[in-house]
Structure 1
Amino acid sequence: MKTDITRRRILAGLGATVAAPAILRATRAYAANPTIKVGFVTPSTGPLAGFAEADDYILEGLRAHFAGGITNNGKTYNIEIIKKDSQSNPNRAAEVAAELILSDEVDIITAAATPDTTNPVADQAEINEVPCITTDAPWQPYFFGRGGNPAEGFQYTYHFFWGLEDIIANFTSLWEGSGVAKKVGGLFPNDADGNAWGDADLGLPKPLAAQGFELIDPGRFQPLTDDFSNYISAFKDAGCEIITGVMIPPDFGTFWSQAAQQGFNPKVATIGKALLFPSAIEALGDRGAGLTTEIWWSPNHPFKSSLTGTSAGDLANGFTAATGRPWTQPIGFKHALFEVVADVISRSDDLDDFEANATAIQSTNISTIVGDVNWANGPVPNVSKTPLVSGQWQKDGDGVELVITNNSHAPQIPVGGDLQLLS
């Protein structure tokens, strides 16, 4: 690994959120080809495990593709990907990120799946001055949740995904087309996502009000709560016909079951995070059909891999053929994460220098299987946006299928059906 570790960097590591022993790095023992180590933090277990369902499939394909190495300035580098499980816990995510940086001595660290994973990993990387690329979390809780200043940005940590402005635009377009009353019940947990989505200034309240929607927000609930009675009562009293928010699947399952028991039947339910995965919808039984959510990636997205030339459809179908399970949205973004990594490795002016690698990330301009990634385009430093559409889980034979019903803010992605109100 790197031979130029500084005292400042060691002290920064000791001052990180999770204490970890600083390790002086010896000169790398070069084999025929030197090795670039890439750390990858993901919630393999816990309530966010749906985000990691396709990890093994994606990593198997990537390792096969990288078997011949990556060429940089005429030299071939082997690629080693080291995966760590965050256990869906931000403290654990910080801990394993510190392990990857200080013990495994990775050259680049990556992470995906909600701010509970991306933020603590990025914080460890920034403190220890290690280049970091993350995805699968709206950019506002990633950037502002870490204390980001748009006038300055971060030096080592970069993120690509969509933002809350895209969620708002898609959700309101979907609701406008439904013809239902503009009274919206908000479900926002006391976590990074919930606090960002419900934030009075940066979240949903102001934009919804500007478009004529009345948001009823009874306040934050603790994740894994077992009683939503007060929320349901508030929504019924206000005459809410729309429900929205951002929740983990177990919390929405609890809310949706109690809503049925207490006679609350909204006409549209559009929930972020909880309704992304087929397994979560199947767990809801018949009441899973008709629910709506954001769609960041699908087999119908008109993009292909810069690594393999594989289309979105072929990547999704390959997962189903290999596992027997339906495609999930993180498939594309996990693959794209390593498209960016490979591009950075191939372009860096000096792979033995962290600053050069961070500069290579900053100058990225690549078309991936999830769309273009280019940090020069903002909206703030260290953030590149990808397109977002929305849609609905609709019955498909004996199961359900996620159908794109609204593409008004990303017309290059085709619609697959019309919105149906909940019965």
Structure 2
Amino acid sequence: MRSKKLLVVTLVLLALGVLSLAFLTACGEEETTTTTAAPPSSATTAPPSSGTTVPGGTETTGAAEMGEDLVIGVINSMTGVNALTGAEQKWAQEKAAADQNAKGGIKLADGKMHKVVLKFYDDKSSDTEAAAAMEKAIKSDGIKILLSSNTTPYNQAAATVAEQYQAYYHINTSWIDEASPDGSFPGFIGGMNLKWASDIFESAAESGKVAVGGAKAMTEPISKFAVLTENNPDGVGFGDSTKARLEAEGWQVVAYEKFVEGQKDFSSIILKFKNAGVEGIVTLISPADGITFVKQLKEQGWAPKYMFGYKGFWPVEFMKALGPDSDYICFDGFWTETYPYPYAKELGQAFRDEHNGNSSVSVGLPYAAAQILFMAIERAGVFEPGPVRDEVFGGFFPGTTMGDIQYNEEGIAHIPFLAFQWIGGERVVLYPEQFATGKTQTFKPWDQR
């Protein structure tokens, strides 16, 4: 009898141990995901097969011996206010890895092909969490080569940690500005004197060109502007440079307002804009805050004649959340599927196939950044942060979905922005003129729609 009781107790303890282990495993994976297979895509947008040349890779001629997987970390805004833009970034990075693996992977100096595996870490749309995510990737998981998130403060925080451990951080979509000669402006990624991070993007100082270009393409001229931006270093740098550019064009900036990310009430700011006679708004805002702002504009029954938003107005989810109320809103973009660059059209179609026909103006940049990293690894011949970094700094990378890319000796590459406008759920290219598909339409009052 005693032996039977002992057996029952032993079985119960074993069961509890298995359940506890499963629970701990689930908790440990809460903030990371690993991608080892291709995201679903149609046959018409699959990457070229073995034996053909693919953008961002070398020609493959058949089966090769497989080596160990190359695990690349990725810092990404999987949750928080920036999750909508983070989702497109993540899709592009996964697509690039899947396409690379479809070619056999990356060939190193050992003569073997190595499959790319991406391990994602959630920055939770926070610079503090981005730093923590980088720390976890390096110290807990031993990852020393990483792709980036898509917001400047998050990437600055993560890059600072990467510098401490000499891990290579391959950044895209963060302002590239250098510090001013007199030191009054610290710059962004380009001003941090980073030795273990690179960046491909536009400068905040030059980003205002597309908002100006969109305004100049209007059929009804305007002259009074407001600048609305997040109250953080990213936002202030953008706001100051945008205000200066608008004034340099001869326009009046009659209001300049800053807000805290996650703000729920914009009514006082909207009232200030209305009372100042604002005709055009240029803003740097997250998708979630942008949706809130537009809804409150409608609630107050007021709207400008022109509204241009950076970061928050371009995701498909922004347009879907607002429906017809997103019409006439202008926004920036880093890429278009109509670019005359290798694989741009096919990448755009692949995104549409998986997003109910909706397009993207962002995915070409993180896809190209991943292409560049894969080329750099292959050129280095080893999967080590120092040699890979050395291939990027001063490196030239032809045939990406962003065209031919040249990095300077400090690891910075410049790409220009475009201006778009939402019309009937579709994107109209406004600027630059060589890519334009239409003129800027005046923002219609809410009661006239």
Same fold (TM over 0.5): yes
Query: Given residue 363 of structure 1, which amino acid in structure 2 is its aligned partner?
Result: G
- What one-letter code is carried by the residue in structure 1 that aligns with 2:441? Q
Question: Which residue pairs with 1:162 in the alignment?
Answer: 202
The one-character-per-residue Cα deviations of 1:250-273 (angstroms, maximum 9, x if unpaired) are: 222222222233332211100111
User: Paired residue for 1:335, among 344, 359, 367?
Assistant: 367
Q: What secondary structure is seen at the aligned counterpart in 1 of 2:250?
A: coil
Q: Which amino acid aligns with 1:66?
A: N
Secondary structure of the structure 2 residue equivalent to 1:260: helix
Partner residue of 1:172 out of 212, 216, 233: 212
Change (3 A) 1:60 1:386: closer
CA deviation digits over 1:326-363, x for unaligned, max 9? 132332122112101111101116544x3322211203
Report the alpha carbon displacement of residue 303 of structure 1 after superposing the two structures with TM. Answer: 1.5
5 Å-filtered alignment, 1:287-326, equals 287-304=325-342, 311-324=343-356, 326=358
Cα distance between partner residues in 2 of 1:321 and 1:98: 36
Q: Aligned-pair distance for 1:108?
A: 1.0
Alignment of 1:416 onto 2:447: no
Identity of aligned residues (%): 20
Task: State which of 109, 127, 139 in structure 2 corresponds to 1:73.
Answer: 109
Distance change (3 Å), C-alpha of 1:87 and 1:141 = farther
Selected match of 2:173 from 131, 136, 139 = 136
CA distance in 2, matches of 1:109, 1:217: 40
Deviation at 1:43, TM superposition (A): 0.9
Distance 1:149 1:393, change over 3 A: closer
Change (3 A) 1:32 1:135: closer
- Which among 400, 411, 421 is matched to residue 392 of structure 1? 421
Cα displacement (A) at 1:133: 0.7
Structure 2 letter corresponding to 1:404: V
| Contact kept in structure 2, 1:115 and 1:141, CA below 8 Å | no
Q: Tell me how far apart the structure 2 counterparts of residues 316 and 116 of structure 1 sit (CA, whole Å).
A: 28
**8 A contact 2:107–2:381 mirrored in 1:** no
Match of 1:51 among 85, 88, 110: 85
In structure 2, what is the equivalent of residue 38 of structure 1? 72
Q: What residue in structure 2 maps to residue 62 of structure 1? A: 97
Question: In the superposition, relative to structure 1, how do residues 32 and 371 fare at CA in structure 2: closer, same or farther (>3 Å)?
Answer: closer
1:359 alignment partner in structure 2? 390
**Which residue of structure 2 lines up, in the alignment, with residue 15 of structure 1?**
none
Measured against aligned partners, the alpha-carbon deviations of 1:243-298 in whole angstroms (never above 9, x if no partner) come to 11100122222222222333322111001111111211221232210110112112
The residue aligned with 2:407 is 375
How much has 1:229 moved relative to structure 2? 2.5
TM superposition shift of 1:218 = 4.0
Secondary structure in 2 matching 1:52: helix
**Cα 1:94/1:77, change in 2 over 3 Å:** farther
1:367-414: per-residue Cα shift (whole Å, max 9, x none)? 3102332112x8xx332111221121111xxxx111101214xx3xx2
- One-letter code aligned to 1:331: V
Query: Paired residue for 2:227, among 181, 186, 193?
Result: 186
Residues 224, 278 of structure 2: 8 Å contact kept? yes
Cα separation, 1, equivalents of 2:245 and 2:106? 45
Structure 1 residues 35 and 58, CA, compared in 2 at 3 Å: closer, same or farther? closer
Match of 2:284 in 1: 246
Structure 1: which 5+ residue stretches go unaligned?
Answer: 1-30, 305-310
1:60 Cα offset (Å): 5.1
CA–CA separation in structure 1 for the residues paired with 2:119 and 2:271:
47
Structure 2 unmatched ranges of 5 or more: 1-64, 445-449
Aligned mates of 1:48, 1:288 — CA distance in 2? 19
State the SS of the aligned residue for 2:155. Answer: helix
Change (3 A) 1:89 1:265: same
Indicate conservation of the 8 Å contact 1:140/1:196, yes or no.
Answer: no
By how many angstroms is 1:142 displaced? 11
Compute the displacement of 1:420 (Å).
Answer: 0.9
Contact map agreement 1:183 1:239 (CA 8 A) in 2? yes
Paired position in structure 2 for 1:212: 250
**Stretch of structure 1 that moved more, 276-285 or 69-78:** 69-78
- Return the alpha-carbon distance in structure 2 between the equivalents of residues 122 and 154 of structure 1: 8
